Structure 1
């Protein structure tokens, strides 16, 4: 994007230095038109291409489904007890719960603002690409050259939008300004500096090919977008769908799992169940807006 902006700047400066040929210089005028038109077309096929914009939209769709947590580093610190014995202590044991709650609220607000900003940038880029394509296909040579400064202004604006979008690092680490206070009993302790950021975990997605029901049981399998393999705790929820249109829930239960697959026993034959996969709530959890669900019939 920054390279594209430099190219636009050079093209703009050149257009100021070189006057548009008069009507008597038809060949030169035609050559300038083709040169400028190809410049716009090249940007629309590279830095501002629909494929590249769609790439960022796909990342945004994943981002909206992610899990967000407060991450406080280091996770463990050395503390000294009343007998001056050193202990390795979980940092969360030292944090004031009320201050942590305030930071989580700030983090949630920051995530929501970033989501709105990304959505707006993508909309501007898609609409701007369409407008420039329209200029290329509908304007004749005279109109195109007479509106060149307008075209350059639009290109510059779109490249700035793209530069902002790529700088947002979706999904990635988002840093928080904070004033994190320790519990009162630790405020006199000398502890190392610690940082607070937002940690992102990828959404969980059912493997539709590997998830199926038997007569009285079901096998479920899920994965993350980037195929993360570390061991963690998952929460599988399922409920019986009881009405004819399978919209009214019946009884259900929650099952905690430490692997990415699970067999659920004790289901009723010939009935439909809705399964939902997620991560359990934790002390550092902030926000998730989406859970994957799958309906299986025994």
Structure 2
């Protein structure tokens, strides 16, 4: 039997299989170390990118949560709606001026009494235009803020990290734009001064004196709003009460419009009247039972009123007359006429006979006493 000799399958000779040298092993080690370092570098860069992304995202979310949250925008919408219902008045300062009367005496006069009526109407018209522009601008600003907040919030929630970081400059510009719009909103919510050239008081009234500096601005008063719990109607009268948050004097005048409401099926014409009152609450008389009335309340017009577009209204229905009361009144009139005629005839005949006998008795008594 021949001896079996082991030979490597990959070699053609006994010296063909060789161990790796030290240099080749060092090369492989260096490549592995370089690869691990690059991997660590990439991981560090990825971590820095993620941290930058989270930091920028939190900045935008903090802005949306603190300075432009839905509750804050809703508050400003409510404030705008109230502002649209307010009364805008012209404020003139100083209110009194020292002028000379026809006797050349210095007097202190109310500026509204000596103002040029045409100039005053012109200024009031400009104040109305400015108020309408102000309300329109506020509406537009709030719409832009609502729309911008929704777009920015959706972008932050759905945008991927790479796109968010690459477009960070555009995102910052959007945030700054919304911040500027919000600052404009705050500034416009308060009535502003009227910058207009005017000659409210003529030189004839001033008597040649230098025209004083007159400041013109606008201010607001809240509208009166009916108290639904304290306002009610009876059969032919109604009590009305409204809420006035300005706490002015009790002598302030109000205008009430009373309107009878009619259906299309009713052939009778409706009517309305305007009544000026100074009391709150007040009672309105001469109403028809079982009918619906619409009441509107507003502040009385003054020389300085510039703008008012909204007036609160309430509808009250007067109570109907009960059927029992109607029957009792009808029976009362019928019984009264019947009993009156019967009792009248009976009493007249009885009284005539009785009075005749009593008269004769009295005459006898007087005759006997005279004797």
TM-score (norm 2): 0.69
The structure 1 residue matched to 2:312, chosen from 288, 292, 296, is: 292
| Structure of higher RCO (CA pairs closer than 8 Å, 6+ residues apart) | 1
1:240 aligns with 2:260: yes
In the alignment, which residue of structure 2 is the partner of 1:230? 248
Q: Identify if the C-alpha distance between structure 1 residues 249 and 33 changes in structure 2 by more than 3 Å, giving closer, same or farther.
A: farther
In the alignment, which residue of structure 2 is the partner of 1:87? 107
Q: Identify if the C-alpha distance between structure 1 residues 244 and 23 changes in structure 2 by more than 3 Å, giving closer, same or farther.
A: farther
Tell me if structure 2 keeps the 8 A contact 1:215–1:268: yes
Q: Would you tell me which structure has more helix in proportion to its own residues?
A: 2
Q: Deviations over 1:62-106 (max 9, x none)?
A: 111111222222222232223333323111111111111111111
4+ long deviations beyond 4 Å: 21-24
**200-209 or 31-40, which moves further after superposition?**
200-209
Q: Distance in 1 between matches of 2:263 and 2:196?
A: 50
**248-257 or 116-125, which moves further after superposition?**
248-257
Offset, 1:121: 0.6
Tell me if structure 2 keeps the 8 A contact 1:59–1:171: no
Offset, 1:284: 1.9
The structure 1 residue matched to 2:168, chosen from 148, 157, 172, is: 148
In the alignment, which residue of structure 1 is the partner of 2:225? 205
The structure 1 residue matched to 2:201, chosen from 176, 182, 190, is: 182
Give the alignment's Cα RMSD to 1 decimal: 2.3
1:110 aligns with 2:130: yes
Higher CA-based Rg: 2
Secondary structure of residue in 1 paired with 2:271:
strand
Q: Identify if the C-alpha distance between structure 1 residues 23 and 105 changes in structure 2 by more than 3 Å, giving closer, same or farther.
A: farther
Uncovered stretches (5+) of structure 2, i.e. residues with no partner = 1-40, 319-371
Secondary structure of residue in 2 paired with 1:68:
strand
In the alignment, which residue of structure 2 is the partner of 1:277? 297
Q: Distance in 1 between matches of 2:166 and 2:42?
A: 12
Uncovered stretches (5+) of structure 1, i.e. residues with no partner = 1-20
Q: Would you tell me which structure has more strand in proportion to its own residues?
A: 1
Q: How many residues align?
A: 274
Q: Identify if the C-alpha distance between structure 1 residues 23 and 257 changes in structure 2 by more than 3 Å, giving closer, same or farther.
A: farther
